[in-house]
Amino acid sequence: MTLVLVAPNMPFGFVHETVPGCEHPGTVVGIFHVKHHFMPGCSHPGTIINTVICFCLSPSCLVLRMILTDGQILAEIEAGTIVIEPFSPACLGSNSYDVHLGRTLATYVDATLDARKHNTIATFEIPDEGFVLQPNMLYLGVTQEYTETHNHVPFLEGKSSVGRLGIDIHATAGKGDVGFCNFWTLEISVKLPVRVYAGMPIGQLIYFEVQGAVINPYNRKASAKYTDRQPLPVESMMFRNTF
């Protein structure tokens, strides 16, 4: 799907050949009025603009690539294209699935890390009374849940209640790949000291549809660095890259 901004006085009459990959060239696309706050970067908040949503109106092409709903997540689990272990219906949101903090945390052994070297970690378990995370530290955590995603792109995002405690659960690596089959390592940092507990809700998985065939899913890539199944935090494998 392609979004194209047009001026409010621009005449209607776009045709569908602007959208690559459609088998129905010449079909008229839809036009919608949207509030400007959906369009970042404009200096005129609140103004109405015209947006052409470029998709074919032919029924066989009218498929928008979106986030999966709860019902679709359940359907994909039934089909085996999404795996979540353990799975609980109570953790299924309207368009996400809640994941929980595993018992094991880790910190790097060395105070200074080197991107070209193997930086080792020391693991420890969160006691029943919880563990207080400290600011200016990087902790590696892990989800309790093992997941597989074969036909969609999974994203791991923080929960609102977790964010309001000042907890970040990933530094940059919130996106999984099609074919990712493993537990999720969390890159945890905090703004204030905060006590955390094994089993607490820590994040949510959302699933995006993809367009086109995946040639090289993650679990079949020879270069994939995080495929060993283990319910433990995994340190950076940057040193395996050539640079």
Q: In the β-sheet with 97-100, what is the strand arrangement from edge to edge?
A: 97-100, 201-209, 152-158
pLDDT at 28: 45
pLDDT at 135: 98
At which residue do the structure tokens 């085996």 appear? 80
pLDDT at 174: 87
The kind and range of the H/E element at 74 are helix 70-79
The answer to whether residues 95 and 208 touch, using CB atoms and an 8 Å cutoff, is no
Domain covering 70-240, topology: Deoxyuridine 5'-Triphosphate Nucleotidohydrolase; Chain A (2.70.40)
- C-alpha span between 114 and 181 (Å, rounded): 28
- C-alpha span between 224 and 220 (Å, rounded): 8
- pTM for the whole structure: 0.73
Mean pLDDT by runs of 10 across the 243 residues of the chain is 41 41 48 42 49 44 71 98 98 98 98 97 98 98 98 96 97 90 97 98 97 91 90 96 93
Q: 202: buried, middle or exposed (CB in 10 Å: 19+, 13-18, 0-12)?
A: buried
pLDDT at 172: 84
pLDDT at 62: 41
Phi, psi of 63 (to 5 degrees): -130, 115
Shortest CA distance to 159 belongs to which of 103, 102, 101?
101
SS3 (DSSP) at 93: coil
Q: Which amino acid is at 36?
A: H
Q: Which of 148, 157, 187, 209 is catalytic?
A: 187
Annotated active-site residue 187? The verdict is: yes
In DSSP terms, 122 is beta-bridged to 107
- C-alpha span between 142 and 147 (Å, rounded): 12
pLDDT at 1: 40
- C-alpha span between 112 and 116 (Å, rounded): 12
Number of H helices, E strands in the chain: 2, 14
The residue ranges of every structural domain in the chain are: 2-54, 70-240
DSSP characters over 6-49: E-TTPPS--BGGGSTT-S-TTPBPEEEEEEGGGSTT-SSTT-EE
The answer to whether residues 233 and 105 touch, using CB atoms and an 8 Å cutoff, is yes
Shortest CA distance to 203 belongs to which of 148, 128, 131, 144?
144
